[in-house]
Amino acid sequence: MAKTGKVVAIAQQKGGSGKTMLAAQLAVALAESGTSVAVLDIDPQGSLTIWAKLRDSAPKAATSITCSATSGWRLTSELDKLRAAHDIVLIDTPPVIDSDARRAIRAADLVLIPLNPSPPDLWAAEGTLKLAAQEKRPVALVFNRAPAASRLRKRMEAEITARGLFLLETALANRAGYANAFADGVGVTEAGPTTQAAEEIRALANAVKSRVEE
């Protein structure tokens, strides 16, 4: 019997939000937990595809992750194929609201929006939030490059709650380990299994998995 995998569209219009890095790190952490994972790169920049190619020859890459890249009319059929063979498909979407982003969000079981805990990042997410609402897709926000505690972070948490938006409890701190691992084609859980970054991304992967399985 074919699988019907869950789809997580990682979307944010603001550059520098960590969208692609998050897709890669989540993919590795989920795969390490025994989940079969595919990543679908529909961002024209293609950074996730480059990461996956680096992964082919990375000594520390210990888990198997399917990576595909497509766009346009092929997107729906490629996504259907990946869903049939994997538990979770993570889509790295374009940093603009275009037809590909719309297709990805329409197909998503969860729209995951990374943002730094600052007003401009939340403002930049408005287009994605509006599209997800139009498509009646569930949304989860996640703080990236977040300080452990700050007045601005608390202010942003309060604003998100007041708007009735869902913010994942686990946040990713501003750690060099994420970027360094990405540059080597691996996840932080492979590069440094016992680091704080590895603990963070494992916790976030569990939270995302629980959210899509609800």
Answer for the pair 36, 49: CB distance below 8 angstroms, yes or no. Answer: no
Q: How many domains does the chain have?
A: 1
pLDDT at residue 8 above 90? yes
pLDDT (0 to 100) of residue 1: 38
pLDDT mean over 151-168: 95
pLDDT at residue 72 above 90? no
User: What's the rounded Cα separation, in Å, for the pair 212 and 207?
Assistant: 9
Answer for the pair 14, 128: CB distance below 8 angstroms, yes or no. Answer: no
Instruction: Render pLDDT for 161-183 as a digit per residue (tens, 0 to 9).
Output: 999 999 999 999 999 999 999 99
Answer for the pair 188, 9: CB distance below 8 angstroms, yes or no. Answer: no
Mapped onto helix, strand or coil, the DSSP state of residue 132 is helix
User: What's the rounded Cα separation, in Å, for the pair 187 and 79?
Assistant: 23
> Considering the domain boundaries, does residue 1 fall inside one?
no
User: What's the rounded Cα separation, in Å, for the pair 164 and 117?
Assistant: 17
> Considering the domain boundaries, does residue 63 fall inside one?
yes
What CATH code is carried by the domain that includes residue 49? 3.40.50.300
> Considering the domain boundaries, does residue 132 fall inside one?
yes
Structural domain span for residue 67: 6-212
User: What's the rounded Cα separation, in Å, for the pair 81 and 75?
Assistant: 10
pLDDT (0 to 100) of residue 3: 60
